[in-house]
Amino acid sequence: MLKTAILGSTGSVGTQALDVARNNPEIKITALTANKNVAAIEAQIREFAPEYAAMEDEASALDLKTRVADCGTKILCGREGVRELIASTDADAFVNSVIGFDGLFSTLEVIKTGKRLALSNKESIVAAGEAVMKLARESGTEILPVDSEHCAIHQCLRTGGHGEISKLIITASGGPFYGKTKDELENVTLADALAHPTWSMGRKITVDSATLMNKGFEVIEAARLFNVDADKIDVVVHPESIIHSMVEYIDSAVIAQLSVPDMRLCVAYALNYPQRLQGATPKLDFFKTAKLTFKTPDTETFPLLALAYKALKDGKTRPAVLNAANEIAVNAFLREEISFRHIPEVVFAAYEKTPEQCELTVESIYASDGEARRIAAEETKAITKNRKR
């Protein structure tokens, strides 16, 4: 029996993680966390009967406690409730699928337990990767990536040693706007940006895919997770999203991981590594896969990918600044306060204006995050004000 806690259970990856459990009786769900979606987590509690559940939002926690009073699940409240849940559950592994920088808190708390972490919350590694990986090594926590690209790289790296790596090759779908010019992006709508060609994901990450910021974050993640320099990480646009990433070795051999685009495969792999679980994922039909194409990313039209490489090379808290500014900009776009083309404008401005921190600590990461958010919010307000004139 694999006892598992799902942090962020009502989001896109969280619900897919529960689907993996639903299709594998050997997985027992011991704990669930969510932010405000009371109806969804109530249904999950009634189906999976976890020992613990926590809601970050206090009013939602009180509502949930009343709704599931007949279930026997202990309901915890707020951030301290999440901390207590992580420390108290007898889970063997945690899936962290919390969305955004808020997920760093859960990552750090899981690391304190020394237990396996199946990590979908990329912001933990983007913003605080060096600190997170150091703390994980010290506690004995094994971090298995749930992102399809990094899950693919993890599998490919089982075929060679770290010193034999020539290059990590991260594939990108290109998003819904690949091939368009800057002028053509002037009038794209929110609905256009949310129409991803191959993946079904949450709203924020879907917009990040459209700007190529998501791919930039994945470059930073790959560097931190696999201890590889930026100049050994390439991005290749692969519209079919069948090859999820590749590793080139020093003998010129290239190992690739292929599958239909489905996050459940990644969750199952991360939970049961080094064994494999019976998948809930459809098998890849090579005869229906007409072609595999590869193209160069357009960093002139989509400049945030290049900025991510810069943040990685700048180091210290600069990736945290990048992540924070992007969260503010994308959320403003999702509220339709700024246009799609304004997202990189806000991110670049906040990146340039946020002061550098001298030291890299968890505290300095949180400080840089807060300052970058403040500056990015000012930038979005200025844009919104100008648009209303």
CATH number, domain containing residue 351: 1.10.1740.10
Q: Is it the case that residue 383 has pLDDT exceeding 80?
A: yes
Tell whether 382 is covered by a domain.
yes
> What global pTM score does this model have?
0.95
> Total domain count for the chain?
2
Q: How confident is the model at residue 200 (pLDDT cuts 50, 70, 90)?
A: low
Q: What digits encode the pLDDT tens for the residues 182-191?
A: 999 988 999 9
In a domain, 128, yes or no: yes
Give dist(CA 109, CA 119) in Å, integer.
13
pLDDT digits (tens, 9 = 90+) for 222-233: 999 999 999 999
**pLDDT tens digits, one per residue of 120-146:** 999 999 999 999 999 999 999 999 999
Domain boundary among 108, 123, 145: 145
Residue 52 lies in a domain: yes
The pLDDT score that the predictor gives to residue 357 is: 86
Q: Is residue 278 part of a domain?
A: no
What residue numbers bound the domain in which 10 lies? 2-145
Residue 199 pLDDT class (50, 70, 90 cuts):
low
171, part of any domain: no
Residue 344 domain flag: yes
Mean of all residue pLDDT scores within the chain: 95
Q: In the listed set 125, 145, 165, which residue is the last one of a domain according to the structure? A: 145
